[in-house]
Chains A and B, each alone.
Chain A
Amino acid sequence: MTAVLPKVDRGREQEPRPRPPRRYRWTRLDTKVSPYLFVAPFFVLFGAIGLFPLLYTAYVSLFDWEVGADDPAFIGLDNYRTLFEDDQFWNALFNTFSIFLLSSAPQIVVAVLIAALLNENLRARTGWRMGVLLPYVASLVALTIIFGNLFGPQYGLVNDVLTALGFGPVDWQASTFGSHVAIASMVNWRWTGYNALIVLAAMQAIPREVHEAALVDGAGPLRRFFSITLPMLKPTLIFVIVTSTIGGLQIFTEPKLFEPSGGSGGGAEHQYQTVVLYLYQSAFQGLDLGYASSIAWVLFLIVIAVAGLNFWITRRAVK
Chain B
Amino acid sequence: MRQRWVSVLICAAVSAAATTACGSGGASQTQDGKTELTIATFNEFGYEELFKEYEAAHPDIKITQRKTGQGQPHHQNLFTKLGAGSGLADIEGVEEGYLSQVMSKSGQFNDLKEIGPQIEGDRWLKWKTEAITTKDGKLIGYGTDIGPLAMCYRKDLFQQAGLPSDPEGVKALFATWDSYFAAGDQFIAKVPGVAWFDSAAQVFNAMHNQHEVGYYDKSDKLVVDTNPAIKADWTAVTAAVAKGQSARLAAFSNEWNTGFKLGKFATKTCPSWMLGVVETQAGPENKGKWAVTDAFPNGGGNWGGSYLTVPKQSKNAKKAAELAAWLTAPEQQIKAFKAKGTFPSQVKALDAPELLEQTNAYFGDVKAGALFATQAKKVKAAQYKGPADGQIQETVFSPALQSVEQGKNADEAWKTAVEGAQKAAK
Contact = CB atoms under 8 A, between A and B. Distances in A.
Interface of A: 66-69, 145, 148-149, 152-156, 171, 173-174, 260-265, 267-269, 281, 284-287
A260 B79 contact: no
A264 B399 CA distance: 11
Contact of B250 (A67, A156, A261): A261
Interface string B394-418: 1100111011011110000000100
B101 A287 contact: yes
A269 B391 contact: no
Nearest to A152: B255
Contacts of A67: 79-80, 82-83
28 contacts: A66-B83, A67-B79, A67-B80, A67-B82, A68-B80, A68-B105, A68-B108, A145-B254, A148-B254, A152-B254, A152-B258, A154-B255, A155-B255, A155-B258, A174-B403, A260-B256, A261-B250, A262-B252, A262-B253, A263-B394, A264-B395, A267-B399, A268-B399, A268-B405, A268-B406, A269-B408, A284-B76, A285-B394
Interface in B229-254: 248-254
A262 B249 CA distance: 13
B22 interface: no
B254 A265 contact: no
Contacts of A261: 250-253, 398, 402
Interface in B271-324: none
Given A155-B258, A174-B406, 6 more contacts: A68-B83, A154-B249, A171-B407, A260-B250, A261-B250, A268-B406
Contact of A260 (B76, B83, B255): B255
Nearest to B247: A154
A275 to B, nearest CB: 17
Max chain B Cβ within 10 angstroms of own Cβ: one of A68, A153, A264, A265: A68
Instruction: Pick from B250, B259, B262 the residue with the most CB of A within 10 Å.
Output: B250
B406 A173 contact: yes
Nearest to B394: A263
B84 to A, nearest CB: 9
Task: In the A-B complex, list the 3 residue pairs whose CB atoms are closest, starting with the nearest.
Answer: A260-B253, A174-B406, A68-B83
Contacts of B405: 268
A91 B375 CA distance: 44
B21 interface: no
B424 interface: yes
A284 B400 CA distance: 20
A156 B400 CA distance: 23
B252 A155 contact: no
Contacts of A265: 395, 399
B253 A269 contact: no
B400 to A, nearest CB: 7
A287 B79 contact: yes
Given A261-B398, A281-B395, A153 B255 contact: yes
A268 B403 contact: yes
A155 B262 contact: yes
A206 to B, nearest CB: 47
Nearest to A287: B79
A174 B255 contact: no
A102 B424 CA distance: 32
Nearest to B420: A88
B79 A286 contact: no
Nearest to B403: A268
A151 to B, nearest CB: 10
Contacts of B83: 66-69
Contacts of B253: 260-262
B407 A174 contact: yes
A149 B254 contact: yes
Contact of A285 (B391, B406, B416): B391
A260 B258 CA distance: 12
Contacts of B400: 268
A281 B394 CA distance: 12
A154 B101 contact: no
Interface in B100-117: 101, 105, 108
Interface in B57-87: 76, 79-80, 82-83
Nearest to B107: A70
Nearest to B401: A268
Contacts of B407: 171, 174
Contacts of A264: 395
A287 B72 CA distance: 13
A265 B256 CA distance: 18
B105 A260 contact: no
Nearest to A88: B423
Contacts of A152: 254-255, 258
A68 B82 contact: yes
A265 B406 CA distance: 15
Contact of A269 (B249, B250, B416): B416
B79 A68 contact: yes
A145 B394 CA distance: 22
B99 to A, nearest CB: 15
B255 A285 contact: no
A195 B403 CA distance: 37
B250 A154 contact: no
Given A67-B83, A68-B82, A155-B262, A286 B255 contact: no
Contacts of A281: 395
A171 B80 CA distance: 37
Contacts of A174: 403, 406-407
A152 B248 CA distance: 12
Contacts of B406: 171, 173-174, 268-269
A101 to B, nearest CB: 24
A112 to B, nearest CB: 35
Nearest to B82: A68
A282 to B, nearest CB: 11
A155 B394 CA distance: 24
A292 to B, nearest CB: 13
A268 B416 CA distance: 11
Contacts of B403: 174, 268-269
A246 to B, nearest CB: 27
A156 B399 CA distance: 21
B128 to A, nearest CB: 25
A259 to B, nearest CB: 8
A287 B105 CA distance: 13
Contacts of A269: 399, 403, 406, 408, 416
